[in-house]
Structure 1
Amino acid sequence: MASDQDFVDYVCEQAGLGAALSYRRMFGEYALYLDERVVAFVCDNMLFVKPTAAGRALLDEVDEAPPYPGAKMYWRMDAVLDDGDRLRQLLRATAAALPLPKQRASGKGAGKRTGKR
């Protein structure tokens, strides 16, 4: 089941990060970007955050699951969605712990993201 645009909009609104948080549709699902880093995926209308030590320090419990078949384990963050402050802190901590993406060779569409917020 592909994720709904309404759910992605809800996640972005709850995070309260404005234009700093963007998303890109990929194969019917979405990748969320903060500070040019992929911090989470929205798959099957569920939020999956990349695991980092900095993010783990902010959470009591984590439910791990792959966001899509064959993926690494991510944190499924259903419980955090209704707590905007906690979600915002988690996404910021995750982005800060991740390296910047490597620059891709410029070409048609390289680096272009849709759904810029």
Structure 2
Amino acid sequence: MATSKEYIDFILDQLSSLEGITFRKMMGEYIIYLNEKIAAYVCDHRLLVKITPTAQKMLPGAPPAEPPYAGAKDMILVENVDDREFLANLFTALEPEMTLPKKKKPRK
């Protein structure tokens, strides 16, 4: 089930205190960026972040990691999306562990 516009709007509102948040729609789901780095995926009304030492430390009781979509790497589900301050702190703490997306080579 594709993520609704209302849900992505809610997540973006929760992150509105952060500078540099952008998003991109991808086949009915969304990628959230922080300072041009992939910060999270929003798929099937779930907010998922990359598995990193900081994410594991800040989300110790998270359900088992799962892929956001078939064929993707496992990610950690963020259940506490109602806590605006926690989300801002989580994304800020994860930012140094995020990487810039690889540039696509032009087609020949």
Instruction: Tell me the TM-score normalised to structure 1 length.
Output: 0.79
* Corresponding residue of 1:55: 55
SS class of match (1:24): strand
State the shift of 1:17 in Å.
3.2
* Corresponding residue of 1:66: 67
Ranges in structure 1 where 5+ consecutive residues have no aligned partner: 108-117
Which whole-Å CA distance do the structure 2 matches of 1:96 and 1:106 have between them?
28
Ranges in structure 2 where 5+ consecutive residues have no aligned partner: none
Residues matched between the structures, number: 106
Q: How does 1:69-88 map to 2 (within 5 A)?
A: 69-78=70-79, 80-88=80-88
Which whole-Å CA distance do the structure 2 matches of 1:41 and 1:50 have between them?
9
Offset from partner CA, 1:21-40 (integer Å, 9 cap, x none): 11100011000000111111
Which whole-Å CA distance do the structure 1 matches of 2:85 and 2:14 have between them?
8
State the shift of 1:104 in Å.
4.8
AA of the residue aligned to 2:72: A
SS class of match (1:9): helix
Instruction: Tell me the TM-score normalised to structure 2 length.
Output: 0.84
State the shift of 1:56 in Å.
2.2
Is 1:13 matched up with 2:20? no
State the shift of 1:99 in Å.
2.5
**TM-align CA RMSD:** 2.0
Cα distance, 1:71–1:105 mapped onto 2, change above 3 Å: closer
State the shift of 1:18 in Å.
4.9
Identity %: 33
